[in-house]
Amino acid sequence: MARKIRMGMVGGGRGAFIGGVHRIAAAMDGEIELVCGAFSSSPEKSIASGQDLMLDPDRCYADFKEMIKKEKKRKDRMDVVSIVTPNHMHFEPAKLALENGYHVICDKPVTFTLQEAKKLKDIIQKTGLTFALTHNYTGYPMVKEARQLIRNGALGKIRKVVVEYPQGWLSFPIEKQGSKQAEWRVDPSKSGVAGAVGDLGTHAENLAEFVTGLRITELCADLSSVVEGRVLDDDANILLHFDNGAKGILHCSQICNGDLNGLNIRVYGELGSLHWRQETPQYLHHKSIDGHKIYQPNVGKLSDEANANTRIPFGHPEGYLEAFANIYRNFARTVRKRMNGEEPTALDLDFPTIDDGIRGMQFIETVIASGKQCKWTKFKS
């Protein structure tokens, strides 16, 4: 198949931040082409958004059902569907797309409820199609290097994990002042049972498990709705136990005034520790009582996984968009090979899947259950 992967998009229309991010990420490596979309729950806005993107007017659809139905009749039909809607609108488009033969890449958290996530896994297994979840922070080269260092025993046995995701943009009730990005995130009918935990905590949980290779077995959560009038949590402090006996701390917040996007992780083992911050993603710090080493993309000997997800020469920081693009590129290469009857490589398959999505939804439900009484609660997978 000597052509680009053809992509349709659900959501991400006028005024939507994340839609633009996904489109840039999809286009960055020249392997995917946006050909159609249903960009809004408003038919008029959806069509206008497609026109803004200079798409064929016949492929700017009023809703995702029309898009999936009409694309199926085209000889140049889309191959994959990208879903970038608020949480409550993930399951139905993903289900319909898969049932009609389209591969799917979806924003996180994967669905509105854990039950939906499990149903989606059944559909993916039944169809045999490719599904990717955009836990984009796992796309950073130095995050992949951290994972490989731990796999190779650089830290010895892991003893403690500290992962944080503080933001401050919801320090005030901007949802009452017309902020659409804030409105749906604090609305249980759109966001689900969690606020900061669903929006940020799932990224922190996914990063901790991805880097360490460990699994959370139980947790104890202290949740708060700090801004008056909010129904959902905007601050969470969570103690963790991992399956190897390690202990951890996960903190996520939308009310840490002064923090912008402070995702960071520290992993402590018997032989040393690893430290990584999303705001300075090109540096991975490896510390011990014997010294301090800094890993950087394209500097020195790195793992195949880190090198495969590095694009630019040393000294130029790989950022958020590049990390996002790594997920899209690996997804596209997997889809292409499967469409050609070929087997994807391990490097092609290096992207989050429905299983990561289910872990995220289970994390949300476990945190909410624990937070109601602030007691230790088993993490059932």
- pLDDT bin (cut points 50, 70, 90) of residue 314 is confident
How many C-beta atoms surround the C-beta of residue 355 within 10 A?
Answer: 15
Instruction: Just give the CATH number of 5-129.
Output: 3.40.50.720
- pLDDT bin (cut points 50, 70, 90) of residue 284 is very high
How many C-beta atoms surround the C-beta of residue 180 within 10 A?
Answer: 12
pLDDT for residue 316:
82
Please compute the mean of the pLDDT values over residues 86-108 and round it to a whole number.
97
Helix segments in the chain, DSSP class H: 17-27, 43-52, 64-71, 91-99, 114-127, 141-151, 180-185, 188-191, 196, 202-212, 304-308, 320-339, 354-373
pLDDT for residue 15:
83
Closest CA to 22 of 180, 168, 132: 132
For the chain, what's the residue count? 381
pLDDT for residue 213:
98
For 110-149, how does the pLDDT look when each residue is reduced to its tens digit (9 = 90+)?
999 999 999 999 999 999 999 999 999 999 999 999 999 9
Q: Does the pLDDT of residue 227 top 80, yes or no?
A: yes
Spatial distance between the Cα atoms of 14 and 40, rounded to a whole number of angstroms: 8
| Region(s) of the chain under CATH 3.30.360.10 | 140-308+359-378
Closest CA to 72 of 98, 46, 91: 98
Q: Does the pLDDT of residue 60 top 70, yes or no?
A: yes
Do residues 78 and 71 lie in contact, with contact meaning Cβ atoms separated by under 8 Å? yes
pLDDT for residue 196:
98
Please compute the mean of the pLDDT values over residues 159-178 and round it to a whole number.
97
Do residues 349 and 334 lie in contact, with contact meaning Cβ atoms separated by under 8 Å? yes
End-to-end CA distance of the chain: 38
Closest CA to 234 of 197, 286, 273: 197
pLDDT for residue 381:
67
Q: Check: CATH 3.30.360.10 for 140-308+359-378?
A: yes
Please compute the mean of the pLDDT values over residues 267-285 and round it to a whole number.
97
pTM of the model as a whole: 0.95
Please compute the mean of the pLDDT values over residues 253-282 and round it to a whole number.
97
- pLDDT bin (cut points 50, 70, 90) of residue 313 is confident
- pLDDT bin (cut points 50, 70, 90) of residue 73 is very high
| Region(s) of the chain under CATH 3.40.50.720 | 5-129
